[in-house]
Amino acid sequence: MQAALRLARRAAGRTSPNPMVGALVVRGGRIVGRGHHVRAGADHAEVAALRQAGAAARGATLYVNLEPCSHFGRTPPCAGAVIEAGVRRVVAGMVDPNPEVAGRGVSALRDAGIAVEVPVREDDCRRLNEAFVKHVTRGLPFVTLKLAASMDGRIATATGDSRWVTGQAARQYVHRLRNEVDAVLVGSGTVLADDPQLTCRIPGGRDPWRVVMDGRLRTPATAKLVRHPRPENTVLVTGNDVPAARRKRLEELGVRVWSFPVRQGRISFRRVLRKLARAGVMSVLMEGGAVTASRAVAEKAVDKVLCFYAPKLIGAEGLPMVGDLGITRMRQSPRLSGSTVRRLGEDILVSAYL
């Protein structure tokens, strides 16, 4: 199952809105077929592994991190292919949470006389596809909040200087994250202060969608994320009452401008996330500043937090990593769980679920 998970992860960031799936066909203790789902619309992992195994699949065991599908999508159902190949036993990491599957694949296999063992290493399998699970069950993308700060929790000096808080290894890690998520989200303050590209700068990487929470549509037409070679993958989220001329100018440059109601000076993160989910976005990396972070946390729109800590001290006059949450008593503080710690060069990465 670990080998299947490693195969599945090869396609991180490429399969949306489908899950990452890896499969192995084993016969006589030897792997005779391997496959993984490369991208949406391509062969599913089971089909690829069975094709490589050929006649050796008959009487073999299929290991796959997700229940074989039983419905027609872009491709035929995998359960049928497994039955036709003559596989004797299937070991699946977890039941597919997709309501269109949800155990039907397992039932079809068992009805055909195939022994099915499920779940196996379910926690690992769910963690790999946590974005898919949330997207298919709740209609929302999985949101990861990324913060980079000094040891005393400051993301910039009093003048706004933030280049660079963390070192090269941490910044490279963020580019790998951008390669794996469907969208990166920031606030307009970040765009105005830093004019970021929000691109993935690693060999063979691909750029995610760029989403800007910009209630007053202040993003200039000269911004780098507007002038991107694929401006249609830049989304400016703004209010309903912004000047039509400003909106038209940006749309003429190819970017998408999404309008939402503004309540008490804010646009609902949940509304934006639902629209992103309907567009096929399963995962969002939030890289905004303190205001964006605090609003997202307050709306309970964040699933996971990544805090990169650099061995530096900036002082009380520096800008905090998270803005005002309106907390007056410790028991009101949002609790995080499942924390892990790792070193990236001189920096420390702490991750936890919110």
Q: Active-site residues: which are they?
A: 46
Measure the CA–CA gap between 294 and 157, rounded to whole angstroms: 19
Closest CA to 46 of 2, 90, 11, 3: 90
Tokens 């391509």 — which residue?
42
Maximum alpha-carbon separation in the chain: 69
**Contact call for residues 354 and 303 (beta carbons, < 8 A):** yes
**Contact call for residues 322 and 144 (beta carbons, < 8 A):** no
Measure the CA–CA gap between 283 and 146, rounded to whole angstroms: 13
* Burial (CB count within 10 angstroms: exposed 0-12, middle 13-18, buried 19+), residue 31: middle
Tokens 């703004």 — which residue?
238
Tokens 């094709």 — which residue?
51
Neighbours of 293 (CB within 10 A): 24
Q: Given strand 61-64, what is the order of strands in its sheet?
A: 30-36, 22-27, 61-64, 89-92, 115-117
Beta bridge partners of 305: 145, 352
Query: Which run of H or of E encompasses 351?
Result: strand 347-353
What's the DSSP call for residue 263?
B
Q: How far apart are the first and last CA of the chain?
A: 28
Measure the CA–CA gap between 352 and 57, rounded to whole angstroms: 41
Q: How far is CA 319 from CA 64, 146, 160, 241, in A?
A: 47, 16, 7, 31
